[in-house]
């Protein structure tokens, strides 16, 4: 079973001082399926890793991509249309491109497990089909 990763959770994975680090790390270490990263979030994550951690953290993340730890997922025209719809529908949340792309990618792939530390936004957004399981928050109720 796949998992779509959000920027905040991936950042927490590389920041040992982040309060979510241990929980996110445990989810990633126990994940048996692909960890999908929409290409739309790469620049945001790269900026955060480089700006607030180090070039080493940035390179470690890029090594993860190169070594198949993560699966990059393209951004399609279908995703763009859904992103626009989500940003308009949830304008009060101010979700932006990155979070909306996570949702659009998850819906298109029919993957409803999201690796995120942003419960506020992802609990409020209703996917087209099913419902989201937010990890690590929902880990207790899931057999990962």
Q: Where are the domains of the chain?
A: 3-141
- In this model, does residue 143 exceed pLDDT 50? no
Going from the C-alpha of 128 to that of each of 43, 46, 105, 110, 111, the distances in angstroms are 27, 30, 12, 10, 11
What is the pTM for the complete model shown? 0.92
Per DSSP, 69 falls in state S
Give the burial class of 66: count Cβ atoms within 10 A of its Cβ; 0-12 exposed, 13-18 middle, 19 or more buried: exposed
pLDDT tens string 33-76: 999 999 999 999 999 999 999 999 999 999 999 999 999 999 99
Give the domain 3-141 fold. Answer: Rossmann fold (3.40.50)
Going by C-alpha positions, the residue among 41, 115, 99 that lies closest to residue 73 is 41
pLDDT tens string 91-133: 999 999 999 999 999 999 999 999 999 999 999 999 988 889 9
Rg over CA atoms, the chain: 14
Q: What is the pLDDT of residue 140?
A: 65
């Amino acid at each position: 079973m796949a998992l779509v990763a959000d920027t905040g959770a991936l950042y927490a994975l590389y920041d040992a001082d982040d309060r979510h680090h241990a929980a996110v790390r445990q989810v990633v270490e126990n994940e048996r399926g692909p960890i999908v990263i929409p290409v739309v979030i790469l620049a945001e994550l790269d900026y955060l890793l480089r700006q607030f951690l180090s070039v080493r953290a940035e390179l470690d993340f890029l090594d993860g991509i190169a070594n198949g730890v993560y699966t990059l997922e393209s951004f399609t025209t279908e995703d763009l249309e859904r992103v626009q719809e989500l940003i308009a529908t949830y304008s009060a949340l101010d979700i932006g491109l990155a979070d909306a792309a996570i949702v659009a990618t998850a819906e298109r792939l029919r993957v409803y497990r999201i690796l995120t530390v942003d419960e506020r936004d992802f609990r409020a957004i209703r996917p087209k089909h099913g419902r989201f399981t937010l990890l690590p928050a929902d880990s207790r109720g899931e057999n990962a």
